[in-house]
Amino acid sequence: MKTQIGLGVLSIPSAFDTLGLMPGVLCLVAIAIINCWCSYMVGSFKLNHREVYGIDDAAGLMFGPVGREVLGAGFILYLTFVAASGILGISIALNAISTHGACTAIFVAVAAIGVFCLAIIRTLSRVTVIAWGGLACILIAILIVTIGVGVEDRPYAAPPGPWVSDYQIVNNPSFADGISAICTLIFAYGGVPFFFPIIAEMRDPRHYTKSLVACQTVVTVIYVTIGIVVYYYCGSYVASPALGSAGRLIKQIAYGISLPGLLASATICTHLASKHFFVRMLRGSKHLVANTLVHWGTWIGCVLGVAVVAYIIASAIPNFDSLISFIGALLGTLQSFQPSGCMWLYDNWSRGREQRSHKWALGVCWNIFVVVCGTFLMVAGTYGSVVGIIDSFRTNGGSGVWSCADNSNSV
């Protein structure tokens, strides 16, 4: 669950606001089903090819060295962008807790420094402890807001006076807005590539499918419940991240509780991206495992480099919704949909050609659909996200980049 529930859940009510309640739920469930299949294929492919330990290994097996490099680079970019969204989320939390007590650009820098200091912990097992604590914090915070919006008489951003929720059963967004909202939901299920190391570490990999179905069911129930309740009570005044949707006090409490979770998400992604560069740079050298000056200098340099890039992204794309949607569109699909469809085709294509069956033909059609669907969402979603980012810059007059303006809607 810690690979799935994170920053993505905070943007689900906002996606429902764009799509409408019914289309939002239907899109969420459809993405959950496709994502569950993609995650299942990760386990199946791993069991068929024991030498595969990550998405880059799978790509190398299917597409050769070029495929390994492309998917590997995509995975590192994915981690770095998620780290950036975590840094941006931390800056929003600090603004909300302090009621915009300092320049937002300072909060973004403080968040990046904090992430760097934690990500520099070299052992992944210690960082994993941070992940479990972060998951608990995110869940508690979003549940507080979910209860709070039902107890409060109006959402935090609603105008004074008599108020009734203006939620829409079916909304009518533009193509760019609609496809961006769908890609936001894809980001919420963006943990597929992280299932490779999970199944590799399982004592009995045969239990993977049962664990996966249980995990995805619980995650989807949580997502649907939070999305429906928060959007139903807040309507068009729902905030993104959703933690800002209730009253001022609840908003500050929720952000305070979620802060370790936001920090954990950014830390883990920074750590994993840095570890990838570190291993590649020192592979075959004694410095990879020895506590030498070269070892520590390389490690600190890798963490610093990833943290700086994540900081630049968080400062350059200061709109949380736009950043989440962009990640889901360009990188989330590329790490989930297309590779998983190709995995099934790689393992089953030649076998089916020798002995065709209706089951094989159905599998071919389904997995080609997954690949085509992922490609369409990647192209169209990236277009929609870029349009959203441009519109955001126009609305703010370009002042959002490295800005001191409050990004939490607290003042």
Q: How far apart are CA 278 and CA 255, in angstroms?
A: 33
d(CA 53, CA 342): 17
* pLDDT on residue 2: 62
The token duo for 272 is 């994993």
How big is the CA angle at 345 (ends 369 and 45), to the nearest 5 degrees? 115
Residue 215, judged by CB atoms within 10 A of its CB (0-12, 13-18, 19+), counts as buried
CA pair distance 312, 314, nearest whole angstrom: 6
> Which pLDDT belongs to residue 82?
92
Q: What tokens were used for 326?
A: 């962009």
Structural element, H or E, at residue 43: helix 21-48
How far is it, in rounded angstroms, from Cα 151 to Cα 370? 41
Name the DSSP class of 140. Answer: H
User: pTM for the full model?
Assistant: 0.90
DSSP 11-33: GHHHHHHHH-HHHHHHHHHHHHH
pLDDT in tens, the chain (411 residues): 666 777 788 899 999 999 999 999 999 999 999 999 999 999 999 989 988 888 888 999 999 999 999 999 999 999 999 999 999 999 999 999 998 889 999 999 999 999 999 999 877 666 667 778 888 899 999 999 999 998 888 888 888 878 888 999 999 999 999 999 999 999 999 888 888 877 877 788 888 898 899 989 999 999 999 999 999 999 999 988 888 888 889 999 999 999 998 998 899 899 989 988 888 888 888 888 788 899 999 999 999 999 999 999 999 888 888 888 899 999 999 999 999 999 999 999 877 666 778 889 999 999 999 999 999 999 999 999 999 888 887 776 554 678 888 888 777
pLDDT for position 351: 74
pLDDT confidence of residue 3: 65
* Whole-number pLDDT of residue 396: 66
pLDDT at 299: 93
Q: Tokens standing for 232?
A: 């139903």
What pLDDT, on the 0 to 100 scale, is given for residue 98? 92
Domains of the chain: 7-395 (1.10.4160)
Q: What residues contact 207, with CB distance under 8 A and at least 6 apart?
A: none
Q: Is-contact 240 71, C-beta < 8 A?
A: no
Cis peptide bond upstream of 241, omega within 30: yes
**Cα–Cα distances in Å, from 20 out to 13, 162, 216, 259?**
10, 23, 23, 29
